[in-house]
Amino acid sequence: MGYSFLDFAYDVLKLASKPLTYQEVWTVGVERGLSSKLNTAGKTPDQSIGAQLYVDVRDNEDTRFLKVGKRPARFFLKEREGEVQPDSITKIEKEEAKKPEPKSSFHERDLHPLLTYFAYSNLPFNRGRAIHTKTIYHENSKKPGYNEWVYPDVVGFYIPVDEWDDAVIEINRLCDNTSLRLFSFELKKVLNKANYRESFFQAVSNSSWAHEGYLVAAEVLQDDDFLSELQRLASSFGIGVIHLDLTDIDASEVVFPARPKDRLDWETINKLCEQNGDFKKFLKHVKIDFQSKTLHKSEYDDILKDAHEYIKAKLNFTK
């Protein structure tokens, strides 16, 4: 068997002077040249290490590792358990809490182009499909100020005009029309313990009409209990959670997947069309594209050519 992520973590923690987060495990291992021993083409190896460590500690009775602390969790070797003092972990967590929050000068709506980029280019998310999105401006509604829990920030769709033969699309349209998929996205700059419940149920309210609904944030609190609660909500209500990683936008990921629905809520869709011109125009163009079997990309949000440069120039994001 080849050199695994867990072998990588073990070799790092053998020489570590204290428990490390999975991100620190990856960074230290790369500095020591251990990454060259791994056979992986994944874009986010640190996330893979984190996931395997969490699962191994939880499910493997013979695990070589132990998890200590919660904010964030750190890992150490079981064989060195005697070296871990409870007060040392408390001290580390207090030091972490004193660190300043990431500074940013951008607005929530500045995240829309990044979501558009993610939905279009992130193959694991869209399962190889080209999802096009459109921003919905709440202020263009008939009752501005009353629609925060009615309209999503961004809507999206997929039709297989580039993948399917015209005859297949037409037959599908005449039968059950399962090729058309509609998506709903609610965006937040930060998702943490202070705002996650309101944000999540806002996404539930705004996404009831779509095939798939998502809550999207540029910063998601990394805390075991918090993520467990998010997972519980996602499982119960079917709303997915997406993390837009501003430090590496191509490493953005679906933290928890949405539960797809087979049927649309036509009554709600009709209400949204009556009250918001942007949403009505979006559906009109989706209809035109589906009937013509041609995507008119100019009618939807532009897809960034260089998302990394956009983050640097527009968002002025610093850590």
Q: What is the pTM of this model?
A: 0.66
**Contact predicate 12/29, CB 8 Å:** yes
Residue 230, judged by CB atoms within 10 A of its CB (0-12, 13-18, 19+), counts as: buried
Mean of pLDDT over the chain? 82
DSSP reduced 3-state for 195:
coil
Tell me whether residue 152 is exposed, middle or buried, using C-beta atoms within 10 angstroms of its C-beta: 0 to 12, 13 to 18, 19 or more: buried
Rounded to an integer, what distance in angstroms lies between the CA atom of residue 102 and that of residue 319? 5
Q: Does 319 score more than 50 pLDDT?
A: no
Greater confidence (21 vs 100) lies with 21
What is the per-residue pLDDT across 42-78, written as a single tens digit (0 to 9) for each? 667 877 788 788 888 888 889 999 888 765 778 999 9
Domains in the chain, start-ordered, CATH in brackets?
5-98 (1.10.10), 108-315 (no CATH)
Separation of alpha carbons 75 and 66, rounded Å? 6
Q: Distance (Å, rounded) from C-alpha 315 to C-alpha 108?
A: 10
Cβ proximity of 26 and 46 under 8 Å:
yes
Q: What is the pLDDT of residue 153?
A: 93
* Residue 211 confidence (pLDDT): 92
Q: Which two tokens stand for residue 317?
A: 């994001």
Phi (first) and psi of residue 77, to 5 degrees: -90, 140
CA torsion, points 127, 257, 178, 304, in degrees to nearest 10? -50
pLDDT tops 90 at residue 203? yes
Mean pLDDT along residues 99-120: 80
Model pLDDT, residue 124: 60
pLDDT in tens, 22-48: 889 999 999 999 988 887 766 678 777
- Percentage of residues of the chain with pLDDT beyond 70: 80
